[in-house]
Copies of this chain bind each other. A is one copy, B any other.
Amino acid sequence: MELWFTEKQTEHFGITAKVRETLVREQTQYQDLAIIDTLEFGRMLVLDDMVMTTEKDEFVYHEMLAHPALATHPNPRRVLVVGGGDGGVIREVLKHPDVEKAVLVDIDGKVIEYSKRFLPGIAGALDDPRVEVLVNDGYMHIHDHKNEYDVIMVDSTEPVGPAVQLFTRGFYQGIYEALREDGIFVAQTDNPWFKAELIKSVNRDVREVFPIVRVYTANIPTYPSGMWTFTMGSKKYDPLEVEESAIPEMDTKYYSPRLHRACFVLPKFVEDLLK
């Protein structure tokens, strides 16, 4: 028997991957969670039928959510990750030499539990002594902390289910207040081919809160369209003013000092979306 997992990325288009076995499938308190072992991309975390991460291409998303902001802040000591229970962003955050403390707040403890068990190469960093893991509502955590973090990263699912409130102006305002006076915020903000309106509205909302707003992209094969956007809001530092020579060469596979400024140069149709 051949088993194939198909994600309908839109109503009329999808990706399909041959599956060796299903490692876990569970309806958690918040979402439908599965980890499957695929022949092309290795183990794959799937939430509400959407591919969240795979062993083969996870490094792109995790590096590209973490490093552009960390390289922009001159001294990122305290970092918060909202969502991201698989631990991949935390692993990247800990590569930065300045980071003293990284807090992870994911609403779904099952994502953390099963990622540790079945995706140790991604989730292993959650056991680092610099990391505090909280199973909690990220929206509430943000609103309970003021002037505390240097960098806040939002590693959410798409705006369905528990992630809906993470795509609101009120959330961005809360993040602004949870950041120190020179803090930086970054979030994954979906793709411009199928979700142009979402990117536009997020961009508009973040601009109302942060004085410096920049969008960059990365190629993620298992995400819709293969091109993912990230939106950065900054109180003081502009990522485009960071010198390549000031960025440490780290143990990465996608991000590099050379890529730092180039990833902010957008295709024309994406530039036009943000006008």
**Partner-B contacts on A (CB < 8 A):** 6, 10-18, 38-41, 56-57, 60, 193, 217-221, 224-227, 252-256, 258-259, 261-263, 265-269, 271
Contact = CB atoms under 8 A, between A and B. Distances in A.
Nearest first, the 9 closest Cβ-Cβ pairs linking A and B are A226-B226, A262-B265, A12-B39, A13-B40, A219-B227, A12-B18, A221-B225, A12-B40, A262-B262
Contacts of A255: 267-268
Contact of A268 (B57, B227, B254, B267): B254
Q: Is the interface of A mostly helix, strand, loop or mixed?
A: mixed
A275 to B, nearest CB: 13
Copies of this chain in the oligomer: 2
Nearest to A267: B254
Given A13-B16, A16-B16, A221-B193, A253 B268 contact: yes
A224 B221 CA distance: 8
Contacts of A269: 253-254
Nearest to A253: B269
Contacts of A57: 193
Contact of A219 (B12, B41, B225): B225
Contacts of A14: 15-17
B18 A16 contact: no
Contacts of A39: 11-13
A269 to B, nearest CB: 5
Contact of A221 (B56, B227, B256, B258): B227
Contacts of A253: 267-269
Nearest to A217: B219
Contacts of A18: 11-13
Nearest to A56: B193
